[in-house]
Amino acid sequence: MLTSMPYLLRITAAIALVAAPSATSPVSSGDWDARGDLVLSPADALSALDSLPPDAPAAASWSEGGARTGWFGEAWEDVDGDGCDTRNEILARDLTDVDYSRAEGVQDRGQGVGQGASSCPDATVWFGTLRDPYTGSTIAFQRGKGTSEAVQIDHVIPLNYLYAHGAWAWDDRTRLLVANDPLNLLAVDGKANQDKSACGPATCPAGSSETDSWDTETGRGWWPPDDSYRCAYAARFVSVASAYELGLPQADVDALRAVLSDCAAGGDGAPSALERVTGTAYSTAEALHGNPVYRLVALVGLALIGSGLAARGRRALSAGHRAGRSGMSRRR
């Protein structure tokens, strides 16, 4: 778990850690910002998938160690020491038509120097356009209260998932780096990011040790709604896991292998018709289970169906009795 060292001291330590990684670190030195391009091809990702270590599930939920901040540090720390927080760096990378100033007209990065927020005074992204990889939609981004959430920065391998499958045993440095690694980050549609939550492709960690409900493998996982992004998503997911030597649950390995095999063969990794039907049925069941309104509607529906069946049974029984009496009358 991250120690409670002062913020500035922790930042200074992080900068040194990026500049001088240990010999055993899964993250090599070099251009930190360029790490976002280090995505394996589908074929190479398949090989990397087979080389991952075994899953190392956490015995307790991350809430016992301070959750996100306790295990992975403050959000979007400037780990490479360039004067700009991670969120703004990813926005600048992934958005187009980026405006670095609130002044009239679009200001480039040079014109935005000194006009930014304290976390990134020379390169704050105020406006821009996102072509969302997860949904395929186009989103106009505007920094500000009530608007910034439209575009969120997603951890391709979510932090709680990382914790649940091995990061609980990593050192502070490695956890801080993976939380801010451009390879593991994408600017995406806010709602899609919320829907994904802490899920991998086939499983999600959920629950807590406090309520004795902690489970590192539950749910049905998550894939981007836009099937055309499946190959890229699977390849990036495995690229991150390989870079940090993270073990994965077998269900996630199987799901990734199925998609990457199709991608390596020239396919798009999209689910089959059967998988779509199964997924829809599961989603419906989840909605019914988790939403009291849906449950009420379902119960009313079942009650109506039951009443209808009972009425039909009574009518059939009554008709049978009448037919029996009629037959007896004729025999008389």
pLDDT digits (tens, 9 = 90+) for 41-72: 999 999 999 999 999 999 999 999 889 999 99
Domain membership flag for residue 312: no
Return the percentage of the chain with pLDDT > 70, whole number: 73
- Backbone φ and ψ of 127, nearest 5°: -140, 160
Strands (E), the chain: 96-99, 127-131, 138-142, 151-155, 185-189, 204-206, 215-218
Element (H, E) at 129: strand 127-131
Angstrom distance (rounded) from CA 39 to CA 170:
23
161 token code pair = 């998932």
From the number of C-beta atoms within 10 Å of its C-beta (0-12, 13-18, 19+), residue 44 rates as middle
pLDDT band (50, 70, 90) for residue 300: low
Domain membership flag for residue 264: yes
Ranking 6-20, 158-172, 272-286 by mean pLDDT, the lowest is 6-20
**In terms of Cα–Cα distance, which of 157, 154, 158, 80 is closest to 123?**
80
Q: Which residue has the higher pLDDT, 27 or 230?
A: 230
- Distances in Å between the Cα of 179 and the Cα atoms of 50, 79, 186, 271, 326 are 24, 10, 12, 30, 81
pLDDT at 16: 47
pLDDT band (50, 70, 90) for residue 89: very high
Could you tell me where the DSSP H helices lie in 197-229? none
CB 137: neighbour CB atoms within 10 A?
13
From the number of C-beta atoms within 10 Å of its C-beta (0-12, 13-18, 19+), residue 49 rates as buried
**In the predicted model, what is the mean pLDDT of the chain?**
84
Average pLDDT over residues 212-241: 97
C-alpha dihedral (40, 43, 46, 50), degrees to nearest 10: -100
pLDDT of 279 > 60? The answer is no
pLDDT at 139: 99
pLDDT band (50, 70, 90) for residue 272: confident
Domain membership flag for residue 40: yes
pLDDT of 232 > 70? The answer is yes
pLDDT band (50, 70, 90) for residue 288: low
Domain membership flag for residue 279: no
Domain membership of residue 204 as a residue range: 7-268
State the amino acid at position 273 in one-letter form. Answer: A
pLDDT at 173: 96
Count of domains observed in the chain: 1
Domain membership flag for residue 106: yes
Q: Which residue has the higher pLDDT, 221 or 316?
A: 221
Element (H, E) at 263: helix 250-264
Taking only the tens place, the pLDDT of each residue in 19-40 is 433 333 455 546 899 999 999 9
Q: What are 153's strand-pairing partners?
A: 187
Angstrom distance (rounded) from CA 213 to CA 324:
58
Q: Provide CB contacts within 8 A for 173, sequence distance 6+.
A: 13, 14, 17, 22, 25
State the amino acid at position 18 in one-letter form. Answer: V
Domain membership flag for residue 98: yes
Placement of tokens 């190392």 in the chain: 56
Domain membership flag for residue 299: no
Average pLDDT over residues 301-326: 57
State the amino acid at position 49 in one-letter form. Answer: L
Domain membership flag for residue 58: yes
Angstrom distance (rounded) from CA 94 to CA 89:
9
pLDDT at 65: 86
Whether 238 and 200 have beta carbons less than 8 Å apart is answered as no
Q: Provide CB contacts within 8 A for 246, sequence distance 6+.
A: 52, 53, 157, 162, 165, 166, 167, 240
pLDDT at 104: 87
Ranking 92-106, 139-153, 183-197, 273-287 by mean pLDDT, the lowest is 273-287
